[in-house]
Structure 1
Amino acid sequence: MERAAVLAQISAVRHGFFGRAGGVSTGEFASLNVSAAIGDDPDLVAQNRALVERAVGAGALAILKQVHSSRVAILDQVPEASTIAADAAVTATRGIGLAILTADCTPILLADPIAGVLGAAHAGWRGAVDGIIGNTVEAMLSLGAKREDIRVAYGPTISGPNYEVGEQFRADFLALHPGGAHHFDTPDNRPPHFDLPGFVEEQLHAAGIDRVEQVGACTYAHPDRYFSHRYATHNGTRTGRQIAVIGMT
């Protein structure tokens, strides 16, 4: 489990960015796979989720049905597993572990320690482009948070050098974000590569958040440490999902 100093300094907040180590799953899903939707044994997934709950100590995990959208759920209790289709959640209720599952996309954890409002967001390129980050901040504000008090950490995600996207992707992105050409690179005259974490951080600052910290490394470049969907696809295998969690005690 990796933690961010910007969140660890808040005494009432518990959080963690997990990789693939420390669980009970085997084979392609070894070992801390937390997704029950990719072919792993559901009993092993349940055991892995229980390990995460105990490690974080923030309460029961609230796991969304992530659909690469810009939708944000406001939670005052833990929903039944994956019954809410959204890619971010916010809460002002203690005992809920807001959880985000990823395997290359960017997990984002947010906290306003003064208002006691938390958020967690899943930022794939589609959700990030469509405004999931700004929507998450706005949902936190609706619960009483203030921009100047929100602290954010984002975790292990695919990096630009390993995220080849193609010309159509770049054209679609620039149609929505005309000033975003600096997030693309064309190494050795290859197809464009996209800097997802750089775009995520830019969007956080655009939403008025000043205290932002990055945690962890590139998921694709470290398949021994993290699950990476793109790495698995390139190597003809399946992969699990890692989890990021934040909650208040």
Structure 2
Amino acid sequence: MIAIDRVRMAFTDRHGGVSVEPYGTRNLGGAVGDDPAAVVKNRAATAAGFGLDEVVFMRQVHGADVAYVTAPFGDDPPGLDAVYTDRPGLGIAVLVADCAPVLVADPVAGVVGGAHSGRPGTEAGVVPALVEAMAARGAAPERMVALVGPAACGLCYEVPADLRDRVAARVPETRSATRLGTPALDIRAGIAAQLTRAGVADIRHDDRCTIETPDLYSYRRDRNTGRFAGYIWLTR
């Protein structure tokens, strides 16, 4: 866990829950085929471990829409890929299994947010959209701290050449190649560049590759699997 004044940021892993294989054990994703009761237990235990009474989960759709939140959405969340809040004690969770969870905070203004930024979201600019929305609520990009979480790395995320070229035309820093020299995308590098262009200077990384890290879920590695999460919140 990272603590910056009132801000807390953390990433879960796949251990410490009640789900059975192939979701073992702390799957937090509710739309991957796991027993819903197990997901509820995993989410509740994770929230309790962080001292949170309420957590916002999105219905992530690989887009760039952003919403301000003051409470969880309930059983029918809207399709969103970034949310932010200024309410202390309300957790924001970003579910991933190769996409990047991006956590952003202005500790002075007391505004925190999280974005789900995979290949489509990075291409669409969900992270800059989150920074812009937070700034409209009083946060300042030059004060923001961004933490880019574990994701498929640029040496593992192989894609067709035409897809790499299309994404790199929008975000040049994503252009990459695998260790074998085949076309790839470096989503982390693209997000870092987007944050820099948005005025965020303090960019931090948990640079684990999900594909190469057995303790984390990876859709590309395992296909039928769970989701871990990035959490961000303001303490009371």
What TM-score does the superposition give when structure 1 sets the normalisation length? 0.90
SS at the partner of 1:73? Answer: strand
For the aligned residues, what is the CA RMSD?
A: 1.5
How far 1:16 sits from its partner (Å)?
A: 1.1
1:17/1:82 CA distance change after superposition, 3 Å: farther
- Residue number among 80, 83, 86 corresponding to 2:74 in the alignment: 80
- The residue that corresponds to 2:89 in the other structure is 95
1:181/1:32 CA distance change after superposition, 3 Å: closer
Does residue 167 of structure 2 align to residue 173 of structure 1?
A: yes
Counting only pairs closer than 5 Å after superposition, residues 37-116 of structure 1 correspond to structure 2 as: 37-116=31-110
| Total equivalences in the alignment | 235
Q: How big is each residue's C-alpha offset from its partner over 1:138-185, in whole Å with a ceiling of 9 and x where there is no partner?
A: 1101111011111111111110111001112023223434xx167322
Would you say the 8 A contact 2:173–2:190 is kept in 1?
no
- Residue number among 179, 186, 205 corresponding to 1:214 in the alignment: 205
Does residue 181 of structure 2 align to residue 194 of structure 1?
A: no
- Residue number among 8, 11, 20 corresponding to 1:17 in the alignment: 11
1:210/1:59 CA distance change after superposition, 3 Å: farther
Provide the C-alpha distance between the structure 2 equivalents of 1:215 and 1:106, rounded to a whole number of angstroms.
Answer: 10
How far 1:78 sits from its partner (Å)?
A: 1.9
SS at the partner of 2:29? Answer: coil
SS at the partner of 1:104? Answer: coil
Provide the C-alpha distance between the structure 2 equivalents of 1:77 and 1:181, rounded to a whole number of angstroms.
Answer: 35
Provide the C-alpha distance between the structure 2 equivalents of 1:86 and 1:182, rounded to a whole number of angstroms.
Answer: 23
More moved, 12-21 vs 224-233: 12-21
Provide the C-alpha distance between the structure 2 equivalents of 1:174 and 1:15, rounded to a whole number of angstroms.
Answer: 29
Q: Which contiguous aligned blocks of 4+ residues in structure 1 show a shift greater than 3 angstroms? A: 186-189
- The residue that corresponds to 2:133 in the other structure is 139
Would you say the 8 A contact 1:15–1:56 is kept in 2?
no
Q: How big is each residue's C-alpha offset from its partner over 1:169-213, in whole Å with a ceiling of 9 and x where there is no partner?
A: 023223434xx16732254343x0111111111111111101111
What letter matches 1:98 in structure 2?
Answer: I
Would you say the 8 A contact 2:164–2:175 is kept in 1?
no
- Residue number among 159, 162, 169 corresponding to 2:156 in the alignment: 162
Considering fraction of residues, name the structure with more helix: 1
Structure 2, gaps ≥5 residues long:
none
SS at the partner of 1:153? Answer: strand
